[in-house]
Structure 1
């Protein structure tokens, strides 16, 4: 039965147009699914249901528990900073977990027992800093006064045409090129997922061997490097199709060559024939890169099925059916420096 279920899921994931996925999976129309695929997150359709503007009005005590590979991480961090800006005193715990990870569930139960029970009975909860973060790589918990923590300065790294990652840019370097084929889409591997199977940090070496994944690798670190906060990338691209997706991932490469994903995200661009800068806000992180390890940045045009395939025709993603290969250039010259910026110390 498990095998049959997996085959049905795989078939549904590959169904085009996306509006027919519910029929392939369930054998019927799902109103909830149709609402989601026909109205993206910026649609006015959702404005009456959007409560993000009321977060500053929350006055009850708030404690958020999340994980570095949880799909809701960015939302919870945004709510935390919104509450702080409104003069509230929220509490935040972020562990090395993904969504539905038993370790995160256990932390939530502990938080209820130690913090919420005290608050509910009018007592003072056990003293603790407002922010507690698990620093991956160092494998230890740290306490901070706020998010993002102070003391981590922006450090810009440049993606070079020779596949290196350096602190300086090139002046006249040629672009790197690759082809994205929606018929053989770049697969998603690890990272943030709603289901726990295959989520979190995994070895990316097989993924990085694909011709549709560009990698840019720094020199072995001469000292430990700690990155805590928001990671961003500015990737200059040009494509021969009307639209393209840009997926960026930061990895930690150990001395044996194992490449573990740290954080990532994807953006959609309508590009035409123009050279365009894709600004990607990778998921926030707290990661300790050890001496001798290397930072690596992946650039690709998809992560399927975590993200729907961009079919390259420029049609609405929910109704597109025609599949087009897309030839993509990533620029490195002085006028178009592709970079990743990390908060580091």
Structure 2
């Protein structure tokens, strides 16, 4: 018995030695180290953050994040519908402070009782359903029962019924794609939608926003497709880290580039390549046309940057479509600031060589955007009148309020002999240059690195002296100004030109030349020659025939100061921002063959019968 007791005691001691944690209450060494869930929002957080799946009318559920400061009551809801991950947008720095986890532009709102809501659009992020780029409105291009208009309606309906901290009033905002979804919410809007601030919205992808400009295809769009729409191994097109100029040039046509890197596996790429002209595919999804055909019932503030490198066309186009029905001048307003694409939502004290007074992004959000939204969304808020048009005069460096847009009187500045530029009509002459598709004009100095933010965000304000010495760029310059020239509107190109080929691109730049010689672009835009008579039905150009090309530069408010000079540059490529024109007419440039790319002699006229000019919207004298 004594021996048995001794053995039992020894076994017990051994067991205790092997599992000391059990005896002392410590965590066992082999306890699993994973947990089912970790709450990143801690009790000390000054905010509430909810993740919900909101059902749409077809049963698809959309991932939605609701954020508000603790203690919020009767708060208006500010909604953004995004393809860029609502979860990440509402958890930026893993902080317990609401100002840290949300984008900079949200600070003024959540600090004043707003409830901020971000939602993944269907098919992206954590939302269910299928994703279609710029999903068309229900109709000829969309045979389903849902679109961004219905999704916005269903989302707002759920929010006002299920967010007890809200006052039942909703505003919608966002930039770029989020600007597009904001505009789509205005089509058959929910009654609780009381105000909208679409910023740099994607409106017409062919006429002048992300994918084409006047028929010329924008090559950086390929990176957007792979980064956003690849379910696995997303990211940029894998063509390396060298000079992007060489990568695109060596591939051939835009279609050859797409096929080389497997981009034709994306339906969106095939749609672009199958619709190179302005056919019904583009016309029936142009948001300005959709909105212009309806009665606007939601007060809307349209916002764009003067140097928006992606979506300069959309906001002014929607303003043009809606303004005629705004009889009291209080339903739709336009804002143009000294910004890049989406620059309004960040600190905005400078853009490349452009310096402004203070943080113009904050100034706008605090002094104009928030009072506008407060007026319609906050109970008992001051009914602060909204400026019909608010623009920032670069050159003079100040905000200006006007009753309409454009404000200026169209005034031509004419191309002259000896590469002059003046207000007087030309009396004769022309200039020529050789455009070689094998040596296209770069849109920024080489090596070109499109993916670098410092390059992409500022290319529209890059000093243009880097191309002035090229023989395929014509430069026309005025005498120094003896008084200011103030323009408010979109300068209009009126170009008389001929080519020895059967197709051609034309690029025109309006430039402010400082006394120190620096050349600040005020507007740059391209036009694909085959569309001189019809955007829908391209035609081959007749070699040697002078054609009159008309198109617009981006909308601006700018003052050319005394002592400065006006400058206009003309060229036939802007690469690799835009695909190369082969200068031989082919039915579809995406399918151009190497032999189609040929040199052409380009002629720019400036005589009495062909007075090439840029019409400036001049105000005051």
Q: TM-score, normalised by structure 1?
A: 0.89
Separation in 2, partners of 1:107, 1:10:
38
TM superposition shift of 1:9:
5.2
**2:372 corresponding residue in structure 1:** 115
CA 1:324–1:69: 2 relative to 1, 3 Å: same
The 1:235/1:128 distance shift into structure 2, 3 A limit, reads: same
Q: Distance in 1 between matches of 2:510 and 2:243?
A: 32
Q: Report the CA distance between 1:179 and its aligned residue.
A: 0.7
Where does residue 96 of structure 1 map in the other structure? 338
Q: Is the 8 A contact 1:129 1:143 kept in 2?
A: yes
1:329 is aligned to 603
Q: Is residue 229 of structure 1 aligned with residue 489 of structure 2?
A: yes
Structure 1 residue 134 corresponds to structure 2 residue 392: yes
2:302 corresponds in structure 1 to: 64
Evaluate the alpha carbon distance shift between residue 306 and residue 89 of structure 1 in structure 2; reply closer, same or farther with a 3 A threshold: same
Task: Quote how far apart the aligned CAs of 1:188 are.
Answer: 1.3
The residue that corresponds to 1:216 in the other structure is 476
Conservation of the 8 A alpha-carbon contact between 2:253 and 2:580: no
Query: What do residues 189-217 of structure 1 show as CA deviations (whole Å, max 9, x unaligned)?
Result: 49xx9964433312111111111110111
**Cα deviations across residues 263-299 of structure 1 (Å, max 9, x unaligned)?**
1211111322211112131112111001000000001
Alignment RMSD, CA only? 2.7
Partner Cα separation in structure 1 for residue 262 and residue 375 of structure 2: 45
Once structures 1 and 2 are overlaid, which stretch shifts more, 83-92 or 326-335? 83-92
Q: 1:272 and 2:542 equivalent?
A: yes
Q: Which runs of 5+ in 1 are unaligned?
A: none
Question: Residues of 1 paired with 2:263 and 2:283: CA distance?
Answer: 30
Residue of structure 1 in register with 2:415 after alignment: 159
Structure 2, unaligned runs of 5 or more: 1-234, 349-360, 531-540
Rate the CA distance shift 1:80–1:158 in 2: closer, same or farther, 3 A. Answer: same
Separation in structure 1 between the aligned mates of residue 402 and residue 434 of structure 2, nearest angstrom: 44
Structure-1 residue corresponding to 2:317 = 78
Q: Deviation at 1:160?
A: 1.0
The equivalent residue for 2:437 is: 182
Distance in 2 (alpha carbons) for counterparts of 1:47 and 1:222: 45
Would you say the 8 A contact 2:245–2:442 is kept in 1?
Answer: no
User: How far apart, CA to CA, are the structure 2 residues paired with 1:146 and 1:210?
Assistant: 40
The secondary structure found in structure 2 opposite 1:36 is helix
In the alignment, which of 577, 581, 606 is matched to residue 306 of structure 1?
577
Deviation at 1:37, TM superposition (A): 2.8
Please list, as runs of the form range in 1=range in 2, the aligned pairs for 1:183-262 lying within 5 A after superposition: 183-189=438-444, 196-262=456-522
- Say which SS state the counterpart of residue 566 (structure 2) adopts: strand
Contact 1:205–1:259 at 8 Å: present in 2 too?
Answer: yes
* Distance in 1 between residues matched to 2:264 and 2:547, nearest whole Å: 41
CA contact 1:137–1:289 (8 Å) conserved in 2: yes
Q: State the Cα deviation string for residues 44-68 of structure 1 (Å, max 9, x = none).
A: 2234434433313231111112101
User: SS at the partner of 1:6?
Assistant: coil
Name the structure 2 match of 1:43. Answer: 279
| Partner-residue secondary structure (3-state), 2:508 | strand
Mapped partners of 1:50, 1:223: distance in 2: 41
Deviation at 1:126, TM superposition (A): 3.3
Instruction: Give the distance between the partners of 2:410 and 2:369, measured in 1 at CA.
Output: 36
Is 2:242 the partner of 1:7? yes
Q: How much has 1:183 moved relative to structure 2?
A: 0.8
Once the 2 structures are TM-superposed, how far is the Cα of residue 163 of structure 1 from its aligned partner?
Answer: 0.4
Q: d(CA) in 2 for partners of 1:276 and 1:52?
A: 29
Match of 1:296 in 2: 567
Q: Kindly tell me: are residues 188 and 4 of structure 1, through their superposed partners in 2, closer, same or farther at Cα, counting changes over 3 Å? A: same
Could you say if the C-alpha distance between residues 136 and 41 of structure 1 is closer, same or farther in structure 2, counting changes exceeding 3 Å?
Answer: farther
**1:8 Cα deviation from its structure 2 partner:** 8.5
* Number of residue pairs matched by the alignment: 340
Distance 1:254 1:306 in 2: 26
Counterpart contact for 2:323–2:332, Cα < 8 Å: yes
SS, match of residue 417 in structure 2:
coil
* Maintained 8 Å contact 2:507/2:526: yes
Deviations along 1:131-150, one digit per CA (max 9) or x if unpaired, are 1101111111111111112x
CA separation of 1:93/1:272 partners in 2, compared to 1, >3 Å: closer, same or farther? same
Structure 1 segments, 4+ long, off by >6 Å, are 1-4
Instruction: Identify which range, 16-25 or 88-97, moves more after superposition.
Output: 16-25
Between structures 1 and 2, the one with greater strand share:
1
- How much has 1:311 moved relative to structure 2? 1.1
Structure 1 pair 115–13 and aligned structure 2 pair: CA distance change class (3 A): farther
